[in-house]
Amino acid sequence: MSASAQLWDDRPCELGEGPLWHPLRETLFWFDITGRRMLARGPEGTAEWRFDEMHSAAGWIDRDTLLVASETGLWRLSLPDGGRERLCTLEADRPDTRSNDGRADPMGGFWIGTMGKAAEPGAGAIWRWHRGALRRLFAPLTIPNAISFTPDGRWAHFTDTPRRQVMRVPLDPEGWPAAAAEVFLDLTAEGLNPDGAVVDAEGVLWLAQWGAGRVAAYGPDGRFLRAVTVAAPHASCPAFGGPELGTLFCTTALEGMSAAARAACPAAGGTFALAGAGRGQPEHRIA
């Protein structure tokens, strides 16, 4: 069973990623990583912030402040004036890497993946920022993605996309991994590439699948439920937002598409939306 999301924002992203629904602003923020910009659309219209380095993911701190991840650090970003204040460095001594997928956790922390700028095998890791400390959680990884959390705060998900397995790991009361990660989904036999993910209020994992043009939904037991298709081959990351968190958004990417493929998919790189696909859990505030 599948449904189709419609093009919601037609600004093309070379590498769309990191959609975040800000609950106080009722605005969706997302990134064009290699385009070095952050985009937004909400009641006040559309907006765009440009940076001098690649940024990829964010969490909300208050109405006017985001935590944003870049290739060199984690920053407080002032939305009104675009000013940044660095919270910590993130592999700043490694010019070959950049940030990738990230999301705030239920305990007020922020998980962020890093990867090689040319997706060099094993060059990446997953880190967690919490109450002023940055700690590396998992390494070596190649393309960390699918960082997401169950509504009860007991489990985190992540993937290393080339391995085609989505992992899950139990969390302690402070939000740190409490045991070794285990396989939650194995997509090897289907040849599917797991990218960004979000878990809804019912515990359903919504997983963007790079190259497949869809976001697939899997129940808490790992069973495939349904899929939402997008008119772009490279679905990159989903998020829930809109009224009562009832709209599924998904970023896409032009990266890796030939000129002919881009001409055949004019909506590729845009951001898509489908109302009624499910009901999201609110994006957690960073403490």
Per residue in 220-255, pLDDT tens? 999 999 999 999 999 999 999 999 999 999 999 999
- In this prediction, residue 96 carries a pLDDT of 97
Domain of 179, in residue numbers: 2-275
Residue 108 has pLDDT above 80, yes or no: yes
- The position carrying tokens 């290739």 is 71
Q: Output the pLDDT for position 125.
A: 98
Domain membership flag for residue 41:
yes
Q: What share of the chain has pLDDT > 90, as a percent?
A: 99
Q: What is the mean pLDDT of residues 35-51?
A: 97
Distance linking the first and last C-alpha atoms of the chain: 39
Residue 1's pLDDT band, with cuts at 50, 70 and 90, is low
- Position 2 scores a pLDDT of 80
* Cα–Cα dist 173/170, whole Å: 10
- Half-sphere CA count of 196, side-chain side, radius 13 A: 30
Domain assignment present for 285: no
pLDDT at 179: 98
Distance CA 139, CA 272 (A): 32
pLDDT at residue 219 greater than cutoff 70: yes
Q: What is the pLDDT of residue 244?
A: 97
The mean pLDDT of 150-176, rounded to a whole number, is 98
Does 143 fall in a domain? Answer: yes
Tell whether 215 is covered by a domain.
yes
Domain of 150: which CATH number?
2.120.10.30
Specify if 286 maps to a domain: no
Instruction: Give the number of C-alpha atoms closer than 13 A to the C-alpha of residue 31, restricted to the C-beta side.
Output: 25
> Which residues neighbour 93 within 8 Å (Cβ) at sequence distance 6 or greater?
none
Rounded Cα–Cα distance for residues 201 and 130 (Å)? 24
Identify whether 280 is part of a domain.
no
SS3 223: coil
Is residue 195 among the annotated active site residues?
Answer: yes
Single out the catalytic residue among 101, 160, 195, 200.
195
pTM, 2 dp: 0.97
Domain count along the chain: 1
